[in-house]
Amino acid sequence: MNQLGIKRLTLSIFLLGTLFASIEAADDDRSAEGSEDQPRPRVLLQFDATAAPVAFGAKRLQAALEQAGFSVQSAKPAAAASAATARIAIAVQPADDAQHPAEGFAIRRSANDGTLAIEIVGGDAAGAMYGALEVAEQLRHGTPLNEIQPQTAAPRFAFRAVKFNLPWMSYRRHESLQLHDQTCRDLDFWREFLDMMAENRFNTLTLWSLHPFTWMIRPTNFPEACGFSDDELAEWQEFWRTLFRMAKDRGIDTYMVNWNIFVSPEFSQAHGVSPHSAKMHYWGEGDMSELVERYTRECVAQVIDEYPDLTGLGITLGEGMGGMTPEQRRDWIDRAFIAGMKAAKRPARLIYRAPLSAGTGSGGSTSVATEKLTREAIERLDLPEPIWVEFKFNWSHAHSSPRLSIVHGGRLDDTYWNPPPTNYQLTWMMRNEDFFLLRWGEPGFIRRHIETNGQDYVGGYFVGSECYIPAKDYLQRPDPRIDWRYAFQRQWLYYKLWGRLLYDPATPDAVFARAFDARYGTGTGDVLLPAFEAVSRMPLRLASLHRSTWDFTLYSEGFLAPQGPRGGKPWRDESPFISVDELIHQPPLDADYVSIADYVRWTSEGTEIPAERITPPALAEALQRDAENALEQIDGLDLPTGSVDFELADIRAWAYLSLYFAEKLRGGVALQTFRLTQRPSDRSEAVARLRRAAEHWDSLIQVTRSMYDEVPLIHTGSTPFSWDRYRDRVLHDITIAEMADPD
């Protein structure tokens, strides 16, 4: 912006006639210099109090200023500027200024007659909020106010969502899900979760439930569908309204995402329809009766009308639609769900999950014909644009390779983006069913993923799990060093990396390193961030090598494939643990990876393997190198005991998992080579490698035993999870090698 534009913008801040508010903090006995005789330097903070996201950002900025030693005071702008040390104005750009897009911001610094002036200008209220949060972050990281860095910013993606499965009417039922009930009813939890989302620049909260509607409304024409008393329903309605309002105040859109032909258990029992809904089971034949269709249509419209702060709804063409053809699924969605949205008194946005089945089953399959059918159906929708069309990236295991290999059901053709869509945009669902206990952070993977998959037709990403709710922290053993309240706060780096990099993939690692510094002391980030980055590649590599599909086919941090392929595969036993034989034979997900079986066969045949392919020996070398580098980095740290101990323990745990994986790969190569060559030396090497792998597993047990309880894990049903529990399976690999016969 030129000087004239700056002057116009400054004038607009004072003369547009909007209500500006200033925050005043009462003076206390503290001062910037630590002396009662010296007043704290004063800052005038101006902002539009009628814009809730701006007010939220200003409140965060006020707290950072006071922490930095300033007194934040109120005064009329014209009189106060000369009395204050600095003036900070937060404003939304004038309507005719197109330099800042929605959710973008600019920070400018100047001095006038000795008074520091900082202007934070947002393309909209959310952008102004992000700008205020940016200044607050710089202050918290030790940047002096007069050195705040000017910058401009704009979001890389318009849709930056968290997937959050609710424990009520949950897709599955398991102790690990239902134990979050009370925490998720607590608005204090949601306040902190939404604060985290805003600070990390997530702008969408998606709440998932099989049939949430009768927890939100008593359907006007079907009151029997809601099982709550009037008082109970009133409490629930106050909960939802407060939650949606708190999200809106932070610039966060909200969506309720259900599945499809599900009704409440009460409605199912009262009318004898949709029998699987009576027990809220996610599989079932689609009930296409007129009654269920009308009930759905009216519920959708009523929910939109009764919750004006709810942004939109989401729909799935899968479970609950058993026995229906793709055409029948599409038509039912149009007649029931879409018609309900159009019958509402206000417009609402839509998340349209791509069909999960090209046939009449609900397990998942793909076809070009179904893709064309679905695209045509979406393009006919007369709803607010863009419609967000969601695809599961690499099915349930997006934390694998940045290369798209499969979606739910199989491979995806280019039908949805060739030619480019006009009324919808693709959104990638980054499902994570692979690590819940150990903290994770690999910024390079996220950047590569965005670079590879962020085409113009992609509107953004979802981040979240189906099998884990980040609410109550039931994973960590009680310990006085714990300084967090909720599960998502353990994984603070995970959310910070995904949120900030989806907003701006060019965000430097220094931003994340400084976040470690703010928590644990100056200089810690330069060690802990690269250590996490190195060892967090372990689950990505396992998921890229071990082809998996739905939720329970891989749990990387446990080295488990609880419900992987068994039929016709003698190398797959009934244990959920990935044996050395399964590691040898399971095909890769990423086409660049080479399985152990193929590597040994090609090597024995003298087949040349292209240099760009990732062979088991090369993968083992990379795993070992990353693990040893991370351990070397953190072993030199001398930090006071505290919550950082848990971060260090998780780095060590990932490192030992990496070393275990590396030696198991080498042992698998030697074992498969023995089966082809019958050389005793190959079997001896396999046994030695697998024994060394077992030593690393024992180190993993040692470092995690003091930190983690055995915890419920939905992947393993009624059997709780701990690494200790699978030690016998680790040792069984040695027995497999010792007793191996040649092929």
Gap between the Cα atoms of 332 and 313, Å rounded: 16
Mean pLDDT of 580-587: 97
Does the residue 714 lie in any domain? yes
Does the residue 530 lie in any domain? no
Q: Which of 153, 188, 223 is the last residue of a domain?
A: 153
pLDDT at 10: 39
Mean pLDDT of 650-659: 98
Total domains present in the chain: 3
Neighbours of 568 (CB within 10 A): 6
Check pLDDT > 70 for residue 288. yes
pLDDT at 29: 34
pLDDT at 567: 56
Query: How does DSSP classify residue 665?
Result: H
Residue 164 and residue 141 share a domain: no
Percent of the chain topping pLDDT 90: 85
Q: Which tokens go with 177?
A: 């899900």
Residue 172 and residue 136 share a domain: no
Mean pLDDT of 458-473: 98
Check pLDDT > 80 for residue 729. yes
Residue 380 and residue 317 share a domain: yes
Gap between the Cα atoms of 98 and 16, Å rounded: 17
Does the residue 519 lie in any domain? no
CATH number of the structural domain spanning residue 371: 3.20.20.80
Does the residue 733 lie in any domain? yes
Mean pLDDT of 526-535: 98
Check pLDDT > 50 for residue 77. no
Residue 176 and residue 88 share a domain: no
Residue 372 and residue 468 share a domain: yes
pLDDT at 136: 97
pLDDT at 23: 39
Mean pLDDT of 734-741: 95
Taking CB atoms within 8 Å and a gap of at least 24, the contacts of 221-226 are 221/298, 222/267, 222/295, 222/298, 222/299, 224/266, 224/267, 224/270, 225/263, 225/264, 225/266, 225/267, 225/270, 225/295, 225/299, 226/264, 226/266
pLDDT at 741: 85
pLDDT at 82: 54
Check pLDDT > 80 for residue 327. yes
Does the residue 525 lie in any domain? no
- Greatest mean pLDDT among 28-32, 237-241, 279-283: 237-241
The dihedral through the CA atoms of 651, 656, 659, 661 has a sign that is: negative
Residue 186 and residue 126 share a domain: no
Residue 145 and residue 189 share a domain: no
Span 2-47, pLDDT tens digits: 333 433 333 333 333 333 344 333 333 333 334 455 778 999 999 9
pLDDT at 357: 86
Neighbours of 261 (CB within 10 A): 29
Span 665-706, pLDDT tens digits: 999 999 999 999 999 999 999 999 999 999 999 999 999 998
Residue 732 and residue 638 share a domain: yes
Gap between the Cα atoms of 575 and 579, Å rounded: 8
Mean pLDDT of 585-614: 97
Check pLDDT > 70 for residue 443. yes
Pick the residue with more confidence: 257 or 35? Answer: 257
pLDDT at 94: 67
Check pLDDT > 70 for residue 444. yes
Span 178-229, pLDDT tens digits: 999 999 999 999 999 999 999 999 999 999 999 999 999 999 999 999 999 9
Check pLDDT > 70 for residue 575. yes
Does the residue 589 lie in any domain? yes
Residue 618, classified by CB atoms within 10 Å of its CB into exposed (0-12), middle (13-18) or buried (19+), is: middle
Check pLDDT > 90 for residue 49. no
Mean pLDDT of 443-467: 98
Task: Determine which helix (DSSP H) or strand (DSSP E) holds 693, and give its type and residue range.
Answer: helix 680-705
Residues 299 and 340: beta-carbon distance below 8 Å:
yes
Residue 350 and residue 262 share a domain: yes
pLDDT at 15: 31
Check pLDDT > 70 for residue 566. no
Residue 270 and residue 401 share a domain: yes
Check pLDDT > 70 for residue 580. yes
Residue 575 and residue 468 share a domain: no
Say what the pTM is.
0.94
Percent of the chain topping pLDDT 70: 92
Residues 108 and 150: beta-carbon distance below 8 Å:
yes
Q: Which of 106, 137, 153 is the last residue of a domain?
A: 153
Check pLDDT > 50 for residue 75. no
Q: How many Cα atoms sit within 13 Å of 269 on the Cβ side?
A: 10
Pick the residue with more confidence: 148 or 25? Answer: 148
86 pLDDT tier (thresholds 50, 70, 90): very high
CA distances (Å), origin 625, targets 419, 655, 690: 44, 10, 18
CA distances (Å), origin 656, targets 558, 604, 628, 670: 12, 31, 9, 21
Span 223-236, pLDDT tens digits: 999 999 999 999 99
Does the residue 516 lie in any domain? no
pLDDT at 571: 80
From the centroid of its chain, how far is CA 163?
6
Gap between the Cα atoms of 584 and 667, Å rounded: 10
Q: Which of 507, 524, 548 is the last residue of a domain?
A: 507
Span 351-374, pLDDT tens digits: 999 977 888 888 788 999 999 999
Does the residue 524 lie in any domain? no
Segments forming the whole domain that contains residue 616: 537-738
pLDDT at 616: 98
Beta bridge partners of 46: 22, 89
Check pLDDT > 90 for residue 246. yes
Residue 174 and residue 149 share a domain: no
Mean pLDDT score of the chain, rounded to an integer?
92
Mean pLDDT of 289-316: 98
CATH number of the structural domain spanning residue 149: 3.30.379.10
Q: Which tokens go with 649?
A: 């323990």
